[in-house]
Structure 1
Amino acid sequence: MKSPLEAIYREALDLTRETRDYLTYSRSLPVNRSEGLDSEESLTVSCEVMRMTTRLLEVMSWLMAQKAVHQGEAHSDGEPFMPLRLSCDDICMKEMELPEKTDPGIVNLYSKSLQLYQRIRRLDANLDQTLARMERKSSGE
């Protein structure tokens, strides 16, 4: 039986691969493809590319941990494993305005990574509610 997270996991994996391919197999660095950027704008693009990869790392880590929990693979000494939580909101939720001349491929991947992170963030918030209900039940409320 497939986990309910399987579809979003596939989507996240595809986006991660697309980003990897774009950043790795292009002729030059993304900043260099963004013609006409001054040094400050180039630095902004470089920082936002790092933010984008951080988002994807956070999303993939979260999804892989949730998948392991749902498949019963994550446990510690017989105790249920506490699911991994998103931990970089201060970095990942910050949305910077990319310079106008930024390479369109970077702009597209940047936008997709933010939207995906926001969706996972909502799932993570739902996990908070679920854990709170479980805690209330176990304490007899």
Structure 2
Amino acid sequence: MSERGLNTVSFAGHAASSAQFKALYSEGMGLVEETASYLDGPGRAASKVMPRMASVLYAAESMRLTTRLMQMASWLLLQRAVNNGEMSRDQVLSEKNKVRLDSFNVDRTAPGWNDLPEGFRDLIDRSLRLQNRVAILDREIYRPQDLSAFVPDNQNGVKAQLSLLQTAFGAN
């Protein structure tokens, strides 16, 4: 990147410390609590009367669900810590390397899937949607910002952004 750098606006960076993040944080932590309550109550009771294939699938998907939610909760807590000034961005970068936000495959055609309780399947679907939102925000906040390969030193900010758009979309 040139010494003067680019004057770009990081919408994701602003979103990560905004009311939208607070809502995402609340939604994520609420889903963790709701899932724990479900798995300890209605889910436990339902798992005892499921057909064998559904019972095995339920056990596996329960582990995937809780792992997915714990990874997202870890990310949300790290982001909240940096937003509140409790951790530096470098500290968070070091810690977030331990957090996996990549997708966990869910096979809705697996034997026993349709025998799983609807509430459980709903928790899985909601966790996957939330995971996707968190992963997108993570990529936007923490992706490398070196754009020098696309922007010659003699271009101003607007021309630089137009150049990036042309590169991305192949416009002339």
Q: TM (normalized to structure 2)?
A: 0.63
Q: Which amino acid aligns with 1:104?
A: E
CA contact (8 A) 1:48 1:96 kept: no
Give how far 1:71 is off. 1.2
Compare CA radii of gyration and give the structure with the larger one: 2
Q: Secondary structure at the match of 2:85?
A: coil
1:128 equivalent to 2:142? Answer yes
Identical aligned residues as a percent: 27
Gaps of 5+ in 2: 1-15, 154-172
Q: 1:27 to 1:16 in 2, by over 3 A?
A: closer
Q: 1:29 to 1:135 in 2, by over 3 A?
A: farther
Partner in structure 1 of residue 35 of structure 2: 19
1:45 equivalent to 2:58? Answer yes
CA distance in structure 2 between the partners assigned to 1:30 and 1:43 by the alignment = 13
Aligned length, in residue pairs:
126
- Root-mean-square deviation (CA, aligned residues, Å) is 2.6
CA distance in structure 2 between the partners assigned to 1:117 and 1:10 by the alignment = 14
1:1-141 superposed matches below 5 A: 3-4=17-18, 5-26=21-42, 28-33=44-49, 35=50, 37=51, 39-75=52-88, 80-83=90-93, 84-85=96-97, 86-87=99-100, 89=102, 92-97=103-108, 99-129=113-143, 132-133=144-145
Q: Which amino acid aligns with 1:57?
A: M
Gaps of 5+ in 1: none
Q: TM (normalized to structure 1)?
A: 0.75
